[in-house]
Amino acid sequence: MSHDHRRMHEATWSRADALAVLDPPERRRTQNPARLWKRVGLRVGDVVVDVGAGSGFFTFPAAACVGTTGRVYAVDVSKELVELVRERAEEGKFGNVESILSTRTHIPLEDGLADVAILANVLHGIPPKTVDEAVRVLRSGGRLVDVDWKKEATPEGPPVRHRLDVSEATAVMAARGLVRVASFELGPLHYVLVFERPRPARLPGHLVSAE
Ligand SMILES: C[S@@+](CC[C@H](N)C(=O)[O-])C[C@H]1O[C@@H](n2cnc3c(N)ncnc32)[C@H](O)[C@@H]1O
């Protein structure tokens, strides 16, 4: 295991880790973020919450898709990376990106504000409470996108025993009431699962109380 990916399992990443591991130019080929958002069908005006945003690898391409009427909240437990994304947003004039410091148990955003939440390369390393929080910020009918390493030996990435396979990741979301609506591959090493937070069932009119 490389020293870089041992850090994948620590709660926070430093700026130096992020720049070395999360931002190499070849990553854009193997985990093309623009391709991801196109497949997900992100729309102008959408609100996105990127949980464990790191250096903003998926944040900024999302911001380009949602435009000035949309918003992308880049959430991370690392103060250094929150600062890095804030600087990058300023430098790149991304007025629609807000960089937010979270804890492992709380994301300081209101319930149900997101059309789309993304957990990219984080589900295998975060506590259940962070997953609960990612679901909490999603509106009914909103979608949660999980990008993660395939559970197989690869030249890079976290140890295989720490990874979740597709059925394990699906079970994590099903336990929170989410329904899988799509799946596809992102390059040779990653899978993508898209889940929907169901809308509440509508009661027939005659069952709705007038009180
Ligand atoms: C492997 S990096 C992935 C970054 C980014 N999603 C990407 O794919 O480039 C994991 C990130 O999750 C953050 N992180 C770890 N635990 C977290 C938690 N409980 N809540 C929010 N962010 C967390 C780390 O600080 C780090 O920036």
Going residue by residue through the chain, which has 211 residues, state the pLDDT in tens, using 9 for 90 and above: 343 444 444 457 888 888 888 888 888 888 999 999 999 999 999 999 999 999 999 999 999 999 999 999 999 999 999 999 999 999 999 999 999 999 999 999 999 999 999 999 999 999 999 999 999 999 999 999 999 999 999 888 899 999 999 999 999 999 999 999 999 999 999 999 999 999 988 777 666 655 4
CA 159 / ligand 1 centre spacing (Å): 16
The answer to whether the pTM exceeds 0.85 is yes
CA 65 / ligand 1 centre spacing (Å): 22
Q: What is the pLDDT of residue 2?
A: 40
> Measured from the CB, is residue 131 less than 6 Å from ligand 1?
no
CA 22 / ligand 1 centre spacing (Å): 10
> Measured from the CB, is residue 33 less than 6 Å from ligand 1?
no
DSSP 113-176: -EEEEEEES-GGGS-HHHHHHHHHTEEEEEEEEEEEE-SS--SSSS-GGG---HHHHHHHHHTT
Going by alpha carbons, the residue nearest to atom 18 of ligand 1 is 104
> Measured from the CB, is residue 61 less than 6 Å from ligand 1?
no
CA 149 / ligand 1 centre spacing (Å): 14
Which residues lie across from 179 on neighbouring strands? Answer: 196
> Measured from the CB, is residue 170 less than 6 Å from ligand 1?
no
CA 50 / ligand 1 centre spacing (Å): 9
**CA-closest candidate to residue 52, choices 95, 104, 113, 15:** 104
> Measured from the CB, is residue 56 less than 6 Å from ligand 1?
no
Which residues lie across from 186 on neighbouring strands? Answer: 190
Q: What is the pLDDT of residue 147?
A: 98
Q: What is the pLDDT of residue 42?
A: 98
Backbone Cα Rg of the chain: 17
Give the position, in ligand 1's atom list, of the atom nearest the Cα of 10: 15
What's the rounded Cα separation, in Å, for the pair 49 and 203? 30
Q: What is the pLDDT of residue 208?
A: 61
